[in-house]
Each structure stands twice: as structure tokens, then as C-alpha cells.
């Protein structure tokens, strides 16, 4: 007699489709998933977005997969401002060839707007520059007004 009860060995179900080539940004705080996608994706990119997925590490997470493009350098470092706990996986031929935490640079340049409404960067045409004061939780200091902010207080440019 067949039973409708689930078996003891439950197979793992993929919540997001596999990627042939490109970049996967995983372990994004769920509320930041769309910001990450907006920051990285171009209009011509094929992008997969998963939000509120189960995660043993952070409870609920977001995942952004960008097909046929590898996110490295300044774009990857910019992620540290909005998703410091995220990881980047480079995928080639359905295999992970590199996986690492998002590198937090010592300085963020032209990534975010200063939260101080009186800062010169909010009134004149000049770039912004923030030095990292503390990596965990991420705290930065504006080079121009010298005020310190939590990364969450800044808005992306």
C-alpha cells in the first residue's frame, strides 16, 4: 500500500534557476535585494531575482543572478555599502569558479550621497568620498564634512 506521507530523505529543491555563465550575489539581506539588482544590472542584462528565500545563515535572504557578466572591481566593492554580508560567485559552464565575500574597500568613491544635508557634496558638483571607520557594522566618514554614518544611513547615487 502506497503512503502519501513524505519520505525521510527529502531532496533539496532549488529555489532559483541554475545559471550557465555570469555572477550570483547571494546572502543579500532581503530588503536590499532590489537595490543590489538596480545597482548592478544593465537594461540589456538577463537578471534573476529571488527575495525572501530561506537561509540558515541570515533567516531570509535575497539572491541576484546576472547572466553572461562577471561583476568585479568597483561594482563589486560598491555592494559592500548596501550588502556587506553578501557573497559573490562567478559561474562558468554551470560551475562555480570563484566564491568570496564582497570586498570592502578602505574608501568608497562616488557610490553614495552624504546623509548630512549641509555637506558641500549635496550643494556643489563634486564627487563623494567616504573612508571606512569600522567594518562591522559598516561605518563610514565623509571626507568633506567629516561626519560619521552607518552605511544604512546613506543613499546610493
Q: What is the CATH number of the domain that holds 111?
A: 2.30.30.20
Q: What is the CATH number of the domain that holds 69?
A: 3.30.70.140
53 and 28 inside one domain = yes
Per-residue pLDDT of the chain (157 residues; tens, 9 = 90+): 454 555 445 556 665 567 889 999 988 888 888 888 888 877 788 888 888 888 787 788 888 999 988 887 767 777 888 888 888 999 999 999 999 888 778 888 888 899 999 999 999 988 899 999 988 788 999 999 999 999 878 887 7
Length of the chain in residues, anyone? 157
62 and 129 inside one domain = no
Residue 34 inside a domain? The answer is: yes
Residue 56 inside a domain? The answer is: yes
Q: Which residues contact 41 (CB under 8 A, 6 or more apart)?
A: 47, 64, 66
Total domains in the chain come to 2
Give the pTM: 0.71
Residue 4 inside a domain? The answer is: no
Residue 95 inside a domain? The answer is: yes
Q: What's the domain range around 81?
A: 22-101
CA-to-CA separations, 105 to 1, 23, 63, 80, 133, in angstroms, rounded: 61, 20, 22, 8, 11
96 and 133 inside one domain = no
Domain boundary among 101, 116, 133: 101
Grid coordinates of 150: 552607518
Beta carbons of 138 and 132 less than 8 angstroms apart: yes
Amino acid at each position: 500500500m502506497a503512503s502519501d506521507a513524505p519520505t525521510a530523505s527529502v531532496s533539496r529543491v532549488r529555489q532559483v534557476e541554475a545559471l550557465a555563465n555570469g555572477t550570483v550575489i547571494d546572502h543579500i539581506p532581503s530588503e536590499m535585494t532590489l537595490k543590489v539588482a538596480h545597482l548592478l544590472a544593465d537594461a540589456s542584462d538577463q537578471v534573476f531575482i529571488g527575495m525572501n528565500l530561506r537561509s540558515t545563515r541570515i533567516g531570509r535572504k535575497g539572491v541576484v543572478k546576472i547572466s553572461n557578466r562577471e561583476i568585479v572591481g568597483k561594482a563589486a566593492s560598491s555592494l559592500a555599502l548596501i550588502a556587506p554580508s553578501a557573497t559573490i560567485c562567478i559561474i562558468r559552464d554551470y560551475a562555480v569558479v570563484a566564491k568570496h565575500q564582497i570586498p570592502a574597500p578602505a574608501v568608497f568613491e562616488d557610490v553614495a550621497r552624504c546623509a548630512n544635508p549641509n555637506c558641500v557634496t549635496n550643494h556643489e558638483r563634486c564627487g563623494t568620498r567616504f573612508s571606512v571607520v569600522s567594518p562591522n557594522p559598516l561605518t563610514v566618514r565623509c571626507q568633506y564634512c567629516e561626519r560619521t554614518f552607518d552605511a544604512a544611513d546613506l543613499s546610493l547615487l
